[in-house]
Structure 1
Amino acid sequence: MPSIPLHLSPKDPISTIANPLPRVLQTPTGLAILEIQGTINLPQASPSESTIPIGRLVFPDYSADNPSSNTAWMKRVHLYVGQHQRLTGEVKKLPKAVAVIKRRETNDAANEELEIMEIIYWKVVFSSRPEPVGT
């Protein structure tokens, strides 16, 4: 059975971009888990686009100016898909934490190594059907 070394990532975040997620969802590299029960029909990307915009996340009851121990904001999260659909979900604690790993850059091509990038404790769950919204 092959053995692959596993390392912890550095404590410093990879990016210096401000993280727009609520504090409880923030991780150093800005990763989060979204659980969507269903299929998202994505628009076709043009050859010049490197990413496909899906929509936007909105936390209507969260206030970054007043972060408190109140978790009522976690009960309502919206994911707007395109201009005409909205999914409503909530923030939930994972029963067990999830580690996100990546292949580590090494000078030795024969020996691979892995690095733990994040440990995620929370997810945003969208389990209801999309609602139509007007623009």
Structure 2
Amino acid sequence: MFEVRFATSDLEQEDAFSVRRKVFVEEQGVPLDLELDHFDKTAAHFVVYSSESPIGAGRIREINDGIGKVERVCILGEFRGKHLGNLIMHALEEHAKTTGMNKIILNAQSYAVPFYEKLGYVITSPEFMDADIPHRAMEKRMI
């Protein structure tokens, strides 16, 4: 049984950070000081749990009036392919809608572009490098 929770406690936020460290820092080699940043203090964090074990994470923050930015979406390797990315993106999008955001932007790792396109996101930039990983900017209007 999988569950997505809005991280309201320090423990739930640390669960999000632990998943992000495993995926982005340990697996992908992103420097820790780039992965955990000052935006973590103000972003809304979501965590995917299997029973009580954190297995996925993502955050969203409002960057301008009505524009949210989704960041740090990840699922532990052994849980990929189970549509858990859809679960967390749904939670992030619902949060955006309920807080008055009418557009979401994100920087997708290039390999993940098809995943986001299936969710209705469109590419808005040429490929660029971030933390030595190819990315594309994408966006979606909230209805």
Bigger share in helix: 2
Question: Would you say same fold, with TM above 0.5?
Answer: no
| TM-score normalised over the length of structure 2 | 0.27
Larger-Rg structure:
1
